[in-house]
Amino acid sequence: MLSHAFEGYNVCIFAYGQTGAGKSYTMMGRQEPGEEGIIPQLCHDMFRRINDTDASDTVYTVEVSYMEIYCERVRDLLNPQNEKSLRVREHPILGPYVEDLSKLVVTSYRDILQLMEEGNKARTVAATNMNETSSRSHAVFTIVLTQRKHDEHTDLKGEKVSKISLVDLAGSERAESTGAQGQRLKEGANINKSLTTLGKVISALAEVTKENAKDVRRPTRP
């Protein structure tokens, strides 16, 4: 996955499953030796590759953003003071993006760990019968890797930009199993509805071929 990102491709990982299955642990892990999750390991390997490169003609820039989708509202986890719901827009070339979402430049693995820790503190969690620290929102940690090259012989410049999307989805749940009531019940309904919609989107994309690409509708909202 990381190799594809360095080649200029956009890549994505979803952690999907029932509440309490260990999705957040798989993605984030713990801040203990040997218990790092996918996101810390990937970030560590990315900066190791950047620091180990001997290409003097390449300049790397790494930017990160962290957001959660809670009850159909998008929140910036790196700017939790901003409590308004951010809007999802569509760029004619770059595709969907979140308006006013913080995008911070990082220069080391330690920088990313600090931002992840701050973002995780702002994330919405609550206790249910199935999970004492159940994630009540979908979290999306995004890394934008930019590689700029300059050929001194020809004076030509080139740029490769790739996006790494690391998604910790809230767990699917049954109200009778979680004992959810009131706000917890509303959260669970929104979680299940959004997961169903995501499944429809993935199924539609899987059906797309060169012959029928224009005929397949891709649902984006419930």
**For 8-46, what is each residue's pLDDT tens digit?**
999 999 888 887 788 888 998 887 888 899 999 999 999
Distances (CA, A) of 91 to 9, 63, 75, 99: 18, 19, 20, 10
| In-domain check, residue 122 | yes
Catalytic sites, residue numbers:
20, 22-25, 168, 171
Q: Which residues are annotated as a binding site for ATP?
A: 17-24
Domain enclosing residue 167, as ranges: 2-173
The enclosing domain of 61 has a CATH number of 3.40.850.10
Q: Which residues are annotated as a binding site?
A: 17-24
| In-domain check, residue 187 | no
| In-domain check, residue 155 | yes
pLDDT tens digits, one per residue of 53-69: 877 788 999 999 999 98
pLDDT tens digits, one per residue of 84-143: 889 999 888 878 889 999 999 999 999 999 999 999 888 876 544 444 445 678 899 999
| In-domain check, residue 186 | no
| In-domain check, residue 181 | no
Burial 130-162 (b: 16+ CB within 10 A, else e): bbeebbbbbbbbbbbbebeeeeeeeeeeeeeeb
Q: How many domains does the chain have?
A: 1
C-alpha–C-alpha distance, residues 123 and 74, integer Å = 11
